[in-house]
Amino acid sequence: MDKIENDSKQISYSKVNVKQSDDRMSKKYRLLMLTTLIISGCSMCYELIISAVSSYLLGNSTLQYSITIGLYMAALGLGSYVSKYFKKRLFNVFVVIELCIGIVGGMSAILLFLANIYIENYDIVMYIEIILIGVLAGAEIPIMTRIIEEDEKNLSVTLSSIFSFDYIGGLLGSIAFPLLLLPKLGYFATSFLCGLLNIIASMLIMWKFGDRVINIKRFRTIAVTIAIFMVTGMIFADNISSGIEGGLYRDRIIYMEQTKYQKIVMTKHRDDVRLYIDGNCQFSTDDEYRYHEALVHIPMNEVDNCSKVLILGGGDGLAVREVLKYDEVKKIDLVDLDEEMIRICSTNDNITKINENSLKSDKLSIHNEDAYEFLKESDEKYDLIIVDLPDPNSESLNKLYSNMFYRLCGKALSDKGVFVVQSTSPYFATNAFWCINKTIESEGFNVKPYHLQVPAFGDWGFNMASRKELTEDIKFKVETRYLTEDNVVALFKFGKDEIASDVQINRLTKPMLMDYYNKAVEVWD
C-alpha cells in the first residue's frame, strides 16, 4: 500500500515538474515563438506576392499559383534537410535566416517587375525567389527546435508549440494579404513591410538572446541598416511603382491605383488616353468608339422597343454612353464588381470627357457586385443584356463565360430579348472566340458572331444571341462614327484563319476557355 502511495506521489511530482518546465520554457522562449509566427506569416505573404505578380505579368493564375505552391513546399523540405548541417552557433544561424528572408522577401516584388522588363527569362528569377524563401523558412523550425531542446529536453512541448505558432502565422498571412495588405499598400509596400517585420524579428532575438549571438554588434548594425532600407522602400513605394511600371507601358502613366480587386492604370500620349486593368488594355480613346458601337448598336438593332438594358462589366461608362443615345431606353442597370472603378470613371476628367458623364445619368442604377451572383438573385427581365467583361484569363472571370452563366443570362432576358458578349479576338485567340460561341449555342440560343478591326486591339469579336432568329439586316437608329449600313455586312464574315470548329464547351466544372485563352496569350507574347 505504501509503495502505491509513493508511486502516486512520484507521478504527481513528475507532473508538477513537467508543468514547471513548460512554464519556464513558455516564459523564456515566448519571444522566439513570436518570431516563428512572424516568419511564417511573412513567408506566406511573399509566396502570395510572387503568385499574384506573376499572374499580373504573365496571366494564367492557376499555373502561377500551382508552381509557386509546389516549389515552395519542396523548398521547405529542402531547407529542413539542409538545417542538419548547422551544428554550432545556432542563434547566429537563426538570426542570419531572419535577415536573409527579410532581404529576399522584401525585394521580391520589385525584382520580379524589373525581371519582366529587363530579363528575357523572367521565370528563372521567380523560381529563385520561391526556392530561397522556402529553403530559409524550412530551415527555421528544425533550428529553433534544436535551440530550445538544448535547454528544455522536452521534445513534445517544443514541437507542439513551434508548429502551432507556425501554422497560425501562415493563416494570418494568407488572410491579411488579400483583405488588407494588397488593397491598402500594393505589391511593393507590402513586400517591404513584410521584409521589415522579418528584420524586427531578428532584432528581438538579438535583444533577448544577445549573450548567445556571436559578433552581436555587427549583426545589429546590419539589421538596423536593412530596416532603414525597408522603411525607405515603404515610404517611397508609390514613386518606385510609378518608375518601374512606366517600363511596362508604352505611354506616360497619369493615374495608378490598386483596388481591392484589380490594378487600374491610366496612360496618356498626346490626346490618346488608355485604361489598363491588371496590365490589359481596356480601351484607347483614339478608337474605343469602334468597339463600343459594335458592342451596343448591332444588338440594339435586333430589339424592338428596348426599354430595359443590363450591362455586366463596362464600369468605364462607355457602353452606357452609347445606350443613352436611345430615347426609348428607360432604365439601365450596370453591374461592376469594383466600386473604385466606378468612382474613378465618374470623377476623373480624362474619363468623364470620354464617357460624357454617362455614369451620372438618372436612367442608370449601379450595382457593385459579382455579375454571376446578380443574375442568380435578380428577377428582372431585360430587353438587352450587354456582357462587357475583361478577357477570361482567370478562374473568377472564366466563370462569367461558362454555360451556366449564359443560362442565367437567358433567364434574365425578355421573350424577344437579345444579349451580346465581348469574345476576345477571332484571329489571335481563335479557339477561345469559338469556344464562347459554342458555349452560348449549347444553351439553346441562336448565335450570330461578328468582328471588326479596333486598332488598339486588332481584330476583335463579339457573339450576339437570342431565343428568336437574328438577322444581319442592320438599320441604325442613331448617329455613329464608324459603322454604316454598308460596312456592317462585312462584320459577319470570317476568313478561313479565323474559324475553329473543333472546340469544347466551357463549363464551370471543366474550364476549357481559360486554357484556350492562355495558350493564345503565349503565342501573342
Do 301 and 254 share a domain, yes or no?
no
Do 373 and 498 share a domain, yes or no?
yes
Do 396 and 413 share a domain, yes or no?
yes
Out of 244, 270, 296, a domain closes at: 244
Do 415 and 272 share a domain, yes or no?
no
* Torsion 251-187-110-77 (CA) sign: negative
Whether residue 102 is contained in a domain is answered as yes
Q: Kindly state the cell numbers that stand for 507.
A: 463549363
Whether residue 6 is contained in a domain is answered as no
> What is the C-alpha to C-alpha distance for residues 447 and 435, in angstroms, rounded to an integer?
12
Do 92 and 231 share a domain, yes or no?
yes
In which domain, by residue range, is 310 found? 287-524
Do 508 and 495 share a domain, yes or no?
yes
Task: Say which CATH number the domain at 358 has.
Answer: 3.40.50.150
Do 237 and 253 share a domain, yes or no?
no
Catalytic residues: 388
Please check whether residue 135 is in contact with residue 43, taking contact to mean a CB–CB distance below 8 angstroms.
no
Whether residue 5 is contained in a domain is answered as no
Please check whether residue 385 is in contact with residue 409, taking contact to mean a CB–CB distance below 8 angstroms.
yes
Total of domains in the chain: 3
pLDDT in tens, the chain (525 residues): 555 455 444 544 444 444 444 454 455 567 777 888 888 899 999 999 999 998 888 877 888 899 999 999 999 999 999 998 888 888 899 899 989 999 999 999 999 999 988 888 889 999 999 999 999 999 988 888 787 766 555 555 566 777 888 889 999 999 999 889 988 888 999 999 999 999 998 898 888 888 888 989 999 999 999 999 999 999 999 888 878 877 777 788 899 888 888 889 999 998 899 999 888 889 999 999 999 999 999 999 999 889 999 999 999 999 999 999 999 999 999 999 999 999 999 999 999 999 999 999 999 999 999 999 999 999 999 999 999 999 988 888 889 999 999 999 999 999 999 999 999 999 999 999 999 999 999 999 999 999 999 998 899 999 999 999 998 788 888 999 999 989 999 999 999 999 988 899 999 888 899 889 988 887 776
Whether residue 73 is contained in a domain is answered as yes
Do 220 and 264 share a domain, yes or no?
no
Q: Kindly state the cell numbers that stand for 2.
A: 505504501
Beta strand 252-258 with 331-335: parallel, antiparallel or unpaired? unpaired
Do 339 and 462 share a domain, yes or no?
yes
> What is the C-alpha to C-alpha distance for residues 443 and 464, in angstroms, rounded to an integer?
13
Q: How far is CA 35 from the centre of its chain?
A: 28
Whether residue 11 is contained in a domain is answered as no
Helix 122-152 × helix 2-28 angle, to 10°: 140
Do 209 and 259 share a domain, yes or no?
no
> What is the C-alpha to C-alpha distance for residues 288 and 404, in angstroms, rounded to an integer?
30
> What is the C-alpha to C-alpha distance for residues 372 and 370, in angstroms, rounded to an integer?
6
Give the burial class of 125: count Cβ atoms within 10 A of its Cβ; 0-12 exposed, 13-18 middle, 19 or more buried.
Answer: middle
Task: Say which CATH number the domain at 136 has.
Answer: 1.20.1250.20
Beta strand 382-388 with 308-313: parallel, antiparallel or unpaired? parallel
